[in-house]
Structure 1
């Protein structure tokens, strides 16, 4: 098993909250979020209450989801500034939530987009 595969296995085994924290740190470092898309657009997941767009911290973890019914999907990189300028308000307008770093047996933390954006935006001191 490669070092990358080992690291990915460790990360995907974390609790949903730990994956959320990890994802925030990775996005801050890489300035990129990842989702999956196919010819119809972004992948959508539905919980009992919310429609969600899954987001991952890197291409490798997004690609892990592209199996079975999602096998035709490709990872899509979203630059952080584009996320903040267009995606947050667009998802809010469409009443969509973020499924934070889902793994095969666990959808992860489901939150409104503005909540993820708040975690990603450096706090300014007044």
Structure 2
């Protein structure tokens, strides 16, 4: 799904909690989650306390973040089933966190992979009930 500039600007203005909710809904609806990769693999960020994998709900947001030092990075979609079956346990095993939908001038919400998986599973159940 492609977003027009007005939609991008409106969503970009969301606070961290609303961006988290948006990411969960979009990831379940589109059945994918977006990361950035470079020649070394998945892009990582560091907070004061944790190493994190940043994730985005749409290709446009991931690409918009890939500027400056990150301009060489490419947005890559991870199928949601693969994220939940491989990435979540792998990130947990490696003691990595997930930073949700970061913006260039603002920190994103940092959560555990299990917390993200729980929210994704809850949203998947809601969607199934609607069908």
Instruction: Provide TM-score, normalisation by structure 2.
Output: 0.90
Counterpart in 2 of 1:30? 30
1:123, CA displacement in angstroms? 4.4
Equivalent-residue separation in structure 2 for 1:13 and 1:105 (angstroms)? 11
Counterpart in 1 of 2:101? 101
Q: Does 1:67 align with 2:80?
A: no
Equivalent-residue separation in structure 1 for 2:85 and 2:72 (angstroms)? 28
Residue 69 of structure 1 aligns to a residue in which SS?
helix
| Structure 1 residues 32-81: Cα deviation after superposition (integer angstroms, max 9, x where no partner) | 00000001111100001010000000100000111000000000100000
**Where do 5+ consecutive residues of structure 2 fail to align?**
127-131
Q: Which contiguous aligned blocks of 4+ residues in structure 1 show a shift greater than 2 angstroms?
A: none
Counterpart in 1 of 2:18? 18
Residue 8 of structure 1 aligns to a residue in which SS?
helix
Counterpart in 2 of 1:51? 51
Equivalent-residue separation in structure 2 for 1:107 and 1:88 (angstroms)? 21
| Structure 1 residues 71-101: Cα deviation after superposition (integer angstroms, max 9, x where no partner) | 0000010000000110000000111000000
**Where do 5+ consecutive residues of structure 1 fail to align?**
none
Residue 36 of structure 1 aligns to a residue in which SS?
strand
| Structure 1 residues 19-41: Cα deviation after superposition (integer angstroms, max 9, x where no partner) | 00011110110000000000111
Give the helix-richer structure, 1 or 2.
2
Residue 27 of structure 2 aligns to a residue in which SS?
helix
Aligned residues: 122
